[in-house]
Amino acid sequence: MKFATILPFISAVSASCLHGTSLMPRAADGTVDINSFNYTGLGGPLNWYGLDKSANSACASGKHQSPINIETDNISYASASSVHFHVPKVDSAKFENLGSGLEVVLTNGTLLAGNTSYTLAQFHFHTPSEHRINEEHYPMEVHFVFESAASQIAVVGFVFELSQFGYSTPLFDSVFAHLDDIATPGTYTMTDALDFSGLTQHLNSHGIYQYTGSLTTPPCSENVAWFLSTEPIVVNVQSYNAVKHVLKFNARYTQNSLGQANLLEVAASNFN
Ligand X SMILES: *[C@@H]1O[C@H](CO)[C@@H](O)[C@H](O)[C@H]1NC(C)=O
Q: Is the CB of 160 or the CB of 196 nearer to ligand X?
A: 196
Quickly count: other Cβ atoms within 10 Å of residue 155's Cβ. Answer: 21
Residue 114 binding: pick among ligand X, Zn ion, none (C-beta 5-8 Å cut-off by kind) = ligand X
Residue 205 binding: pick among ligand X, Zn ion, none (C-beta 5-8 Å cut-off by kind) = none
Chain residues 127-156 in contact with Zn ion, contact rule CB under 5 A:
143
By CB under 5 A, tell whether 252 contacts Zn ion.
no
Residue 143 binding: pick among ligand X, Zn ion, none (C-beta 5-8 Å cut-off by kind) = Zn ion
Taking CB positions, which residue lies at the least distance from ligand X?
43
Chain residues 86-125 in contact with ligand X, contact rule CB under 6 A:
90, 108, 114-115
Q: Kindly give the pairing relationship between strand 116-126 and strand 187-190.
A: unpaired
Minimum gap (Å) between residue 142 Cβ and Zn ion: 8
- CA 74, CA 81: separation in Å to the nearest integer? 21
Minimum gap (Å) between residue 38 Cβ and ligand X: 4
Q: How many CA atoms lie within 13 A of 272 on its CB side?
A: 5
Minimum gap (Å) between residue 202 Cβ and ligand X: 22
Binder to ligand X among 13, 42, 193, 261 (CB under 6 A)?
A: 42
- Each residue 58-87 as x (binds ligand X by CB under 6 A) or -, in order, gives -------------x--x-------------
Mapped to the 3 state alphabet, what secondary structure does the chain carry?
CHHHHHHHHHHHHHHHHHHHHHHCCCCCCEECCCCCCCCCHHHCHHHHHHHCCCCCHHHHHCCCCCCCEECCCCCEEECHHHEEEECCCECCCEEEECCCCEEEECCCCEEEECCEEEEEEEEEEECCCCCEECCECCCEEEEEEEEECCCCEEEEEEEEEECCCCCCCHHHHHHHCCHHHHCCCCEEEECCCECCHHHHHHHHCCCEEEEEEECCCCCCCEEEEEEEECCCEEECHHHHHHHHHHHCCCCCCCCCCCCCCCHHHHHHHHHC
Chain residues 64-103 in contact with Zn ion, contact rule CB under 5 A:
none
By CB under 6 A, tell whether 216 contacts ligand X.
no
Residue 257 binding: pick among ligand X, Zn ion, none (C-beta 5-8 Å cut-off by kind) = ligand X
Binder to ligand X among 12, 121, 258, 263 (CB under 6 A)?
A: 258
By CB under 6 A, tell whether 43 contacts ligand X.
yes
Q: Is the CB of 12 or the CB of 112 nearer to ligand X?
A: 112
User: Contact residues for ligand X (CB under 6 A)?
Assistant: 36, 38, 40, 42-43, 71, 74, 90, 108, 114-115, 257-259
User: Contact residues for Zn ion (CB under 5 A)?
Assistant: 143
